[in-house]
Amino acid sequence: MRNRLKVLRAERDWSQGDLAERLEVSRQSVNAIETGKYDPSLPLAFRIADLFGLPIEAIFLRDA
Could you report the per-residue pLDDT of 3-51, keeping only the tens digit for each? 999 999 999 999 999 999 999 999 999 999 999 999 999 999 999 999 9
pLDDT of residue 63: 80
Residue 64 clears pLDDT 80, i.e. is over it? no
Number of other residues whose CB lies within 10 A of the CB of residue 15: 12
Q: What is the rounded CA–CA span in Å between residue 60 and residue 56?
A: 6
Beta strands of the chain (E only): which ranges?
A: 2-3, 60-61
pLDDT of residue 12: 97
pLDDT of residue 31: 98
pLDDT of residue 36: 93
The neighbouring-strand residues paired with 60 are 3
Helix 16-23 vs helix 42-52: crossing angle, to nearest 10: 110
